[in-house]
Structure 1
C-alpha cells in the first residue's frame, strides 16, 4: 500500500572512489507526500504550516519561484518534458523548510499510475552549491530482473566542483513501502567515480513523530549546507581536482 503521506528517516551516504577513496554518511529525514495532500499533512500538527511555523511548506520553494500549487507545477513540468502525468498520483520526497532554513540538494517527484504500486517515471530536481542553481531531469524508469527501477543518462548540470561534467548517471531505486532505497552512480566509461544514496524508512505522520523530527534534526537545511562545505574542505585537503563551473569557464 502506498502511503499518501509519511515521515521518511534514515541515512544518506556519499562515496568518492576515484582517484582516491572518501566516504561519509549522516542521518536524514525527508517528507514523503502526495502533492494533492500537502494541506492535510500540515493540518496534523500545530508546528507545521504554510507560514511562520517550525516546519513550513511553500509551493515557491520547489521547481520555480511562483506560488502555483506544486501539484499543478509538477504535472505541467512533466508534460513539458514529454511525460504523461495527467492521471495517476504524484508524490514528492524532499526537505521542507525547517526553522527557517531550506537546502535541497535533491527533490524527487514520482508518478505512480492508477492501479500500480510502483512509479513509472520521476522528476529529479537538483540544486548545486555554492551557485544555488536548479536543474530538472525527467526520467522514465524501467524494472530490472531484480525488480529494482533503473535509468541512466548523461550528466547535464554542474553540481560538485570536484567532479567533471563528462560523466553518466546510473540510478537504481528500490520501492518496497515502508522501505525506500536509492543509489546513484557517476560513471566515466565503465569506471564508477562517485556514488551516493540513501536508505529510508517511512512512518505514519502521527503528531508525536512530527514533533520529534523537529527536536531531533532541528534546522536541517543549515546542517545540510554545513556538511557539504565540511566535506568539500576535506576533499580539497586530499588533493581533489577542482572543476570550474562550465558557464564561468566559457566566460574566462
Structure 2
C-alpha cells in the first residue's frame, strides 16, 4: 500500500508542479519591469546559496554533497504557513526579540524540508537583532512526513534522537548540534553519537548570503524546484546505501510504541549528566579527562541540576497511509 501511495503521490506532484511551473512562467512573462521588492536591502527574506554535505563512516563508508538554496525569513514580517509564528516561537523559548526561520520554501505546490531552524533573539536597539539566545529545530522525515520540533542551545547542544529520520539509522544515537548566528554566511552541523558506532555520521550546511527580497515572485523563481531536487537526492542516496548492503530498519513504531517517551527520558538523563559535569568544571575539579569534560559541558542549557526540566519537544504524526 505504501509503495503504491508513494508512486501515486509522485505522479500527482509531477502534474501539479508542471502546471504551477507554467503559471509561474506566465507571471514572469507579464510582470512589470519595475520589481518593487526584488532587490530591497531590508527584505523580509535573506537568500542563501550553499552546499549540504553528509558523511557516514560506519557500517559502510558513504559521503555525498549537493547544492542547496535556503531562505532566512523574518517571521514578524513574513509569516509562513505550516510553521510556527514568531509569537509562538518567542513564547516557547521566552525571548522578546526577532525570530528568523531558516527553511526551503514550498515551490510550485511541493514542500520538502528535512531541517528548518528558528533563530530566536533577545530584543536590542532598533534595526538590531540582539543576542541569539535559543534555537528551535524542525525536523521532518521522508517519506513519512512526521515532524519533531525541539529547542537547543545554538553554540552547542546534545539532544537524544527523537525522530526516525532515516531507515538506515536506529534510534539509539544522540544528536550533537550547532548553529551559528546567520550573517553574510551561515553554518549548521549535526553529528550522530552512537553507543556502539561512535561518532559515525555528520551532516553540515555551509551557505553564503546572496541577496534579500520581500517579493513573492522573486522567491518563487529563486526556489523553483528546489524541494524537488532535495527529495530526489534523498531517494537517490538511500538507494546507494541499500546497494551497499546497509541494513534497512523498520520504523520504531512497529517495535516500540513508547519510543518517543523513551527519547524524552534519555534526553533528560543526558541533560542531567551534562549539568553534573558543568558543576565539576565550575568547581575547578581537574582530572586526566579534563578536555573531554570541557567538550561535553558545552552542551548545556545554562541551568543547574535543581532547575533541570525536560526539553521542549513536540511531534506531529504522519498522515495516511504512513500513520
The two structures share one fold, judged by TM-score above 0.5: yes
* Structure 1 segments (4+ residues) deviating >6 Å: none
Partner of residue 177, structure 1:
183
Runs of at least 5 residues in structure 2 that lack an aligned partner in the other structure: 1-41, 258-323
SS of equivalent residue, structure 1 residue 162: coil
Equivalent positions of 1:68-87 (< 5 A) are: 70-76=85-91, 78=92, 83-85=93-95, 87=96
Give the Å deviation of 1:216.
Answer: 6.5
Give the Å deviation of 1:162.
Answer: 0.3
Matched, 1:62 2:83: yes
Provide the C-alpha distance between the structure 2 equivalents of 1:226 and 1:158, rounded to a whole number of angstroms: 19
SS of equivalent residue, structure 2 residue 76: helix
Provide the C-alpha distance between the structure 1 equivalents of 2:122 and 2:72, rounded to a whole number of angstroms: 17
Which residue, out of 121, 134, 137, partners 1:121?
134
Q: Deviations over 1:125-160 (max 9, x none)?
A: 11011111011111134xxxxxxx111111111110
Bigger radius of gyration among the two: 2
Provide the C-alpha distance between the structure 2 equivalents of 1:27 and 1:110, rounded to a whole number of angstroms: 22
RMSD over aligned CA atoms reads 2.5
Give the Å deviation of 1:89.
Answer: 1.1
Provide the C-alpha distance between the structure 2 equivalents of 1:73 and 1:207, rounded to a whole number of angstroms: 22
- TM-score w.r.t. the length of structure 2 is 0.60
SS of equivalent residue, structure 1 residue 7: strand
How many pairs were matched up? Answer: 211
Partner of residue 209, structure 2:
202
Runs of at least 5 residues in structure 1 that lack an aligned partner in the other structure: 40-57, 64-69, 142-148
Q: Is the 8 A contact 2:104 2:223 kept in 1?
A: no
SS of equivalent residue, structure 2 residue 90: helix
Q: Is the 8 A contact 2:97 2:130 kept in 1?
A: no
Q: Deviations over 1:186-239 (max 9, x none)?
A: 01148212110110112332589x74x755653111111111111000000001
Provide the C-alpha distance between the structure 2 equivalents of 1:224 and 1:151, rounded to a whole number of angstroms: 26
Partner of residue 151, structure 1:
157
SS of equivalent residue, structure 2 residue 70: strand
Between structures 1 and 2, the one with greater helix share: 2
